[in-house]
Chains A and B, each alone.
Chain A
């Protein structure tokens, strides 16, 4: 049995044979694994009772354990375990009995000069996350560990360590509970990487485990990037750190893939190393090489005892799981007939408005129309205030449109008024505005008139110039004082053209 102290570096993954379906960049396949660190939304730290707050005055959330004072001892936060179990459950992991290890290394923001983490026996293992499009990304593990303090550097350029004169350390963050989620290297494009992180974030919010704000550091992503030719072994991977947004993640991966491909094409060897993404110059830079890396001398943490969540606890966490984004999207797609990974469903679920759409349907409304209305008109305002309209009002509006009593354009107008006023009687508003759909005979008369009045445009359109259709439709809308249904006008023009 291989000793845990002589682990195979990272995890051993072997590349399979070429399938012919790979996404390639100049003949190379990109292979990405993501390590995401998430700060848990607990009241206190992982091993001590200091407050877990972002943005407090430096060194005001400290205690002997946080500072690594002589004689201090850790005691495990039960709620942190609960939240870590929720993450593991949501990621389809097996929750197992586990232990804590010490990871020994020196750094000024590490008060004990070791980090209490989990090594070869972590809490959550062997899970997966499905991307909205359906691709499954394996989750190797999601384990508990404590966060470090924060150092700020002074005297150099841009707050970097390099060239600095001194640094100041704040230990408020030291000891904050983290879950580190490690994916298998199943990601193949920068887009998939972004989707993975977005979806993971949505899951974390749904289960209440973290507020997952990359800009505040409560979710941090490191990417392991390598390239290889299909059918050949995996290439040397580099770890990319300091990615501060989902967008940067995509850009950093793209850059790094390109960098490695260029090196290989030039006959150079890619070194296994940790690189730092610089948002300012949009490049990755060497941070440290593998040769400089410390020997962490992992050993079992003697000040803690094993953690073995009971079957009852595991079941309670599973039973209390809320609907996760994937389930919400499926549910909404089924109710509305829209695609689960289409834009409308994605946006509405992300905003948390899918329950509302279903409420509208339950109130007798048309689900498909309701989906569109909510997507188009229910975006939260700039100040974050949500749209609040009784579902029944929206339901009534959808019925007006689907029955043909009003046009889509008219419905949009009524909807805007309902949203602005926090509600409204759709039929009454329609009547007040004089909206009513046209009889098709009247509509045809208007269209024929438009054709007659705009002979030049009509000739162009008949000749194949589709762009003139917009002009013709606009003319018909004007002539009908907005009562015409734009879609019906378009259909009529098309049919007249082809006859």
Chain B
């Protein structure tokens, strides 16, 4: 088996045992970055020297008989909205261009303590607002599987980095689907955990009651490993769940015999036929593996988009008010402070960010609160209650992740609403605070990847991962014939998948 397609689980096992060198694993990833980063632009910043030093240190630790941790030597990319001490953290915005945080996000500390190697900070839609990474102030990221198409967003860079083999795993953030949707468009696994599962301390806030950090990986097991490492209570985050979480790696092994998988019969229309076909295949696979398919309803599901686009911009308008040119970041000089605010923020924020700040400010303002933000919070309750009812009949739910495969650049930028619809299937999960993950499940139009979304109730990760693992197994069984030719990158630079990964891409 080529080392190029090792999973994180395999890498860390190999490095810890001494059979693999972290330095070698890193070099392979850096070689792929050298080869293709120019055209993909997954990164805002590649940290080659720092990564080499870290890898050498890991190898030294192992040589001295010490254990670097469960992610020993695993190259990881971090979405550039997670604070990394002394390393620029820009949120792909001009207003934070060059800003170096004086502290680490909690997840960054946990990754470091586990022996992971940060290879770079990845590109995103500015301040995590978008579904295509076209809103980055530093240029878009291109889908490694088709450079004319978007990787999805807002964590497009992190998704692309894993899809292109620049990193073994990466972290993104998901407020309305920003991990799951790009995961689907890039053909990788992407997970948003239960709200409060992973600490938000050091994650630059977009919408505080919706944001969560989660992994992009090539396998379900790798995502489980990542969450086992970064998840768990953090005293620095008041909203972080106090109780310890059971290991997800351990949960995966269980099959889906007797699992109740829900089909949401009143799900909003909008998925392309190729996407709908893959979803059906997924239901068939789980049924074949012993699960029971049940019909459920989530009547308020379709109102999620509206509730989200009133709640998230409202919270964002407040979270982004701190970017005022006083203490850090961009400052546009002016004769007085008030003028400085207006000029700095107009120059520093891109159009989508400004639009959402305006929408959110409006929705919260005197006279409008009841009609907008106040009402949206009630719709949120309806959605959560509907899901709770559905979860009395089903253990997990299955939906498409995104309505279409990756779309061409510029095809949705004229109409913000068209872009917002990309998240129609992912948003309600954030509103309810539930976990959700996208599992690559074959290809659709133009041979582009399609993701299937597995949803579960609060702290339903173990069940969710069981179902996802079963889907993954069914996919690799189905693509056994194409496996041999998919283990090396082909002429197009399209990354092959290991036996545990997604199905054929060619």
Within the complex, are A and B direct neighbours (CB within 8 Å)?
yes
**Which of A302-310, A456-464, A470-478 interfaces with chain B?**
A302-310
Is B101 interfacial (CB-CB < 8 Å)? yes
Q: Which residues of A contact B101 (CB under 8 A)?
A: 64, 69-71
Cβ-defined contact, B369 with A6, below 8 A: yes
Cβ-defined contact, A70 with B204, below 8 A: yes
Cβ-defined contact, B373 with A71, below 8 A: no
**Which of A103-111, A215-223, A243-251, A484-492 interfaces with chain B?**
A103-111
Q: Which residues of A contact B326 (CB under 8 A)?
A: 108, 111, 169
CA distance A31 to B373 in the complex (A): 37
CA distance A64 to B102 in the complex (A): 8
A interface residue count range (under 10 / 10 to 19 / 20 to 34 / 35 or more): 20 to 34
CA distance A393 to B346 in the complex (A): 77
Interface size on B, residues (CB 8 A): 44
Summarize A's interface: helix, strand, loop or mixed.
loop
Q: Which residues of A contact B322 (CB under 8 A)?
A: 68, 70, 111-113
Q: How many cross-chain pairs have Cβ atoms below 8 Å apart between A and B?
A: 109
Is A295 interfacial (CB-CB < 8 Å)? yes
Cβ-defined contact, A76 with B238, below 8 A: yes
Is B452 interfacial (CB-CB < 8 Å)? no
Task: Decide: A113 near B324, CB < 8 A? Known: A3-B370, A297-B366, A303-B239.
Answer: yes
Cβ-defined contact, A71 with B204, below 8 A: yes
Q: Which residues of A contact B367 (CB under 8 A)?
A: 5-6
Cβ-defined contact, A5 with B369, below 8 A: yes
**In chain A, what residue has the closest Cβ to B314?**
A299
Q: Which residues of A contact B105 (CB under 8 A)?
A: 71
Is B38 interfacial (CB-CB < 8 Å)? no
CA distance A102 to B235 in the complex (A): 21
Is A32 interfacial (CB-CB < 8 Å)? no
Q: Which residues of B contact A299 (CB under 8 A)?
A: 314-315, 318, 364, 369, 373
Task: Decide: A297 near B361, CB < 8 A? Known: A67-B327, A73-B238.
Answer: yes
Q: Which residues of B contact A67 (CB under 8 A)?
A: 327-328
CB-contacts of A408-452 with B (<8 A): none
Which has the most chain B C-beta neighbours within 10 Å: A5, A64, A106, A302? A302
Cβ proximity bits B360-399 to A, threshold 8 Å, 1 near / 0 not: 0100111101100110000000000000000000000000
CA distance A135 to B38 in the complex (A): 78
Is B236 interfacial (CB-CB < 8 Å)? yes
Q: How far is the CB of B2 from the nearest CB of chain A, in Å?
A: 38
Q: Which residues of B contact A74 (CB under 8 A)?
A: 238
Is A75 interfacial (CB-CB < 8 Å)? yes
Contact of B96 among A70, A75, A111, A305 (CB under 8 A): A70
Is B467 interfacial (CB-CB < 8 Å)? no
Which has the most chain A C-beta neighbours within 10 Å: B236, B322, B338? B322
**Which of B195-203, B274-282, B295-303 interfaces with chain A?**
B195-203
Is B89 interfacial (CB-CB < 8 Å)? yes
Contact of A295 among B83, B96, B99, B366 (CB under 8 A): B366
Q: Which residues of A contact B102 (CB under 8 A)?
A: 64, 69
Is B137 interfacial (CB-CB < 8 Å)? no
Cβ proximity bits A59-81 to B, threshold 8 Å, 1 near / 0 not: 00000100111111111100000
6 additional A-B pairs beyond A71-B202, A102-B318, beta carbons within 8 Å, are A64-B103, A70-B204, A75-B236, A106-B341, A112-B321, A305-B239
- Please give the residue numbers on chain B whose beta carbons come within 8 Å of chain A beta carbons, in ascending order: 82-83, 89, 91, 96, 99, 101-103, 105, 200-205, 208-209, 235-239, 314-315, 318, 321-322, 324, 326-328, 337-338, 341, 361, 364-367, 369-370, 373-374
